[in-house]
Amino acid sequence: MGQFPWQRDYYAQGVNTLVEAGIRQTIFDIQFMDNSEPSVNRESYKNLLTKTSEREAVNRDDVKDVLIDNDKVLSASIKKTKGAIIPYSFSQAKIPDLITDEKIKSEREKAYQHFRARASIPVPKDKIREFESLVDNTRVQLAYPIPPVINSAELFGYVDADADEDGIRRDIRLVRVFEGNIYFNMGLVMVMDMCEVPKESVEINPGKNIVLKNAVDPQTFKKSDIDQLAKDYIAVSHD
């Protein structure tokens, strides 16, 4: 596959293979925060060279087909999965917005609205003070995936973690509150998806536990509440 980072159409090929195999869940551990460069379609390039060398007419499509929009190819494959989980993160520094094109800014904002609707739920109005403990003031900005990926995906989970004083990450936050909304860690989103629990059915009790309501056991297919997340998490994260 060559040297990393790989072209995004490689990921698309992998995802398509998984879809054909009937995979239930696909998780990416790479954040697609920037647009990638297009790659060359070798066959189209050869065809273009042949036409120009033989002085044949070259039309717009001949030129257009030479370049492959790998972000578009990846997004199309993600849309096929219905169960791809896309990572994002919270930044500890604000990144200035340098885009001035109004059309691009409008399309991007629509994608971000879709992201926030799919990735988070509002803090309950009667529990705003209670949820203040889940706000991390060191996180000042959302680092979004690129709009084509956002628009093709249904599930998102954040992947940033907190480091201890020695630089080692021993704990993760299962949920974060940012600008009035509750966001979910990727590991938790994986469990929610596997147990068919929509984010609206997650009960969060800050400082106590997280309850997945009406969760489907993937082996027995029986439904019950899962309320051991906090206890299990604390035991594992400090071992």
Q: Is residue 8 within 8 Å of 1, Cβ to Cβ? A: no
Note the pLDDT tens digit of each residue in 135-189.
Answer: 999 999 999 999 999 999 999 999 988 888 888 888 889 999 999 999 999 999 9
In this prediction, residue 237 has a pLDDT band, given cuts at 50, 70 and 90, of: very low
Cα separation, 76 vs 68, in Å, equals 13
Candidates 116, 109, 123; CA nearest to 88 is: 116
Q: Is residue 215 within 8 Å of 195, Cβ to Cβ? A: yes
Q: Note whether residue 2 is domain-resident.
A: no
Q: Note whether residue 1 is domain-resident.
A: no
Residue 154 belongs to domain spanning: 8-33+40-237
Domain tally, the chain: 1
Candidates 37, 30, 15; CA nearest to 145 is: 30
Share of the chain above pLDDT 70, in %: 95
Cα separation, 17 vs 26, in Å, equals 11
Q: Once rounded to an integer, what is the mean pLDDT over residues 80-106?
A: 89
Q: Note whether residue 13 is domain-resident.
A: yes
Q: Note whether residue 156 is domain-resident.
A: yes
